[in-house]
Structure 1
Amino acid sequence: MVQPCNAVVLISGSGSNLQALIDSLGEDNPLRIRAVVSNRADAYGLTRAQNAGIATQVLDHKAFADREAFDCALIEAIDGFRPDLVVLAGFMRILTPAFVRHYSGRLLNIHPSLLPKHKGLNTHQRALDAQDSEHGCSVHFVSEELDGGPLIIQAVVPVEPGDTAETLALRVHMQEHRIYPTAVRWFAEGRLRLAAEGALLDGEKLPATGYLIRT
């Protein structure tokens, strides 16, 4: 019997990836979302959590003197729920090294590009501007390098003629909602771990691209 895996999800916005995680919950999934924490009181993801009976907390980053003070308070809030895993689901804050180190090996993020391409923001337009033939999304362990931690799983979507940033984003979002629950469940089941040599799935080192899915 797999032990329950307690998770805290961090959000800043609508929470569509949070909803995908909520929808993946069930008797055969050991994931338990203990709380959803947002740095914005108007984040719609808080409503999604409340509708699912999940505890919520708001920690306004503007109320703190600096990034370090905010992250210290955020650690205290998260640790109150004793999580095995912290999931970044559209949390629009650059985390301090101290925060990342505190949750090393149990901090996941999803990014809307095929990392290491297009780190940072505006990834869909940048993929179009670069005339990429493929785009997609990546789940990775978080390291102190922005969008630079070991890759776990990537979904590849073709860039179609006539695509705009909006149409491309829609197709990428669909894949985000597919691969994030998959990666989180792997972790919850004890199959996914971070080791010195990188991300391990079922004890085997994942390739540099992570587990690759083509659509």
Structure 2
Amino acid sequence: MPQDLPPTKATVLISGEGSNLQALIDAAPLMPHLTIVRVISNKAGANGLNRAKAVSIPTAYHNLISGKYYAVGEKDPAVKAAAREKYDADLAKKVLADEPDILTIAEHYVISEVDRGDPIVIRKIQCQTPETLDELKTRIHSQEHELILEGTQLAISDLWKKRSKSEELS
């Protein structure tokens, strides 16, 4: 992985185990330019928060229900849509407060619609028979951990190329 990139701050969004976050943490020696400035989860009990705290990365919890964006059991689609819009706007404020250079939630570029950005990296995983569900999950996680590193590195490289071009045009 290239070592000559400028310092790059990342905010990481998680919702569960945080194994992709752990892959980034473990890759720190290979990506010394990357600093994870905060991990934000929509689940208070997400193990990824523990992973972040274990290496002194600040964490935050941001949730639709506990944040009182709408009540448990809300059925009105208009209320839920408005609440989601406010929730997303508040999440964006939290992220922007970190002044990150990149945001990682999945391996695609982030746009206003959650999980809808252009893919950064894609990898096909061949089905194998016979294979148990646990074996498949293990293979998927292994590929995911490689992809998170590859995608993060590509996003950082792309970011600094674009910033460099923009400075040249100014």
Q: TM-score per shorter chain, which class?
A: 0.7 to 0.9
Q: CA 1:145 to 1:70, structure 2 compared with 1: closer, same or farther past 3 Å? A: closer
Q: Indicate if the aligned counterparts of 1:10 and 1:86 stay in contact, CA closer than 8 A.
A: yes
Residue 67 in 1 paired to residue 84 in 2?
yes
Question: What is the Cα deviation at residue 168 of structure 1?
Answer: 1.5
Question: Of 29, 32, 35, which aligns to 1:29?
Answer: 32
Residue 160 in 1 paired to residue 128 in 2?
yes
CA root-mean-square deviation: 2.4
Q: Indicate if the aligned counterparts of 1:21 and 1:180 stay in contact, CA closer than 8 A.
A: yes
**Aligned equivalents of 1:147, 1:50: Cα separation in 2:** 25
Unmatched runs of 5 consecutive residues or more in structure 2: 71-82, 163-170
Percent of aligned pairs with the same amino acid = 33
Which structure has the higher relative contact order (CA within 8 Å, separation 6+)?
Answer: 2
Counterpart in the other structure of 2:74: none
Question: What is the Cα deviation at residue 156 of structure 1?
Answer: 2.8
Larger radius of gyration: 2
TM-score (norm 2): 0.74
Q: CA 1:192 to 1:179, structure 2 compared with 1: closer, same or farther past 3 Å? A: farther
Question: Of 18, 21, 24, which aligns to 2:21?
Answer: 18
Q: Deviations over 1:120-153 (max 9, x none)?
A: xxxxxxxxxxxxxxxxxxx322456675533322
Question: What is the Cα deviation at residue 188 of structure 1?
Answer: 2.2
TM-score (norm 1): 0.60
Question: Of 169, 172, 182, which aligns to 2:137?
Answer: 169
Unmatched runs of 5 consecutive residues or more in structure 1: 89-108, 110-138, 195-215
**Aligned equivalents of 1:70, 1:173: Cα separation in 2:** 29
Q: Deviations over 1:26-57 (max 9, x none)?
A: 37531110000111111110000011110111
Q: CA 1:144 to 1:58, structure 2 compared with 1: closer, same or farther past 3 Å? A: closer
Question: Following TM superposition, where does structure 1 have runs of at least 4 consecutive aligned residues deviating by more than 6 angstroms?
Answer: 191-194
**When you count helix as a share of all residues, which structure comes out higher?**
2
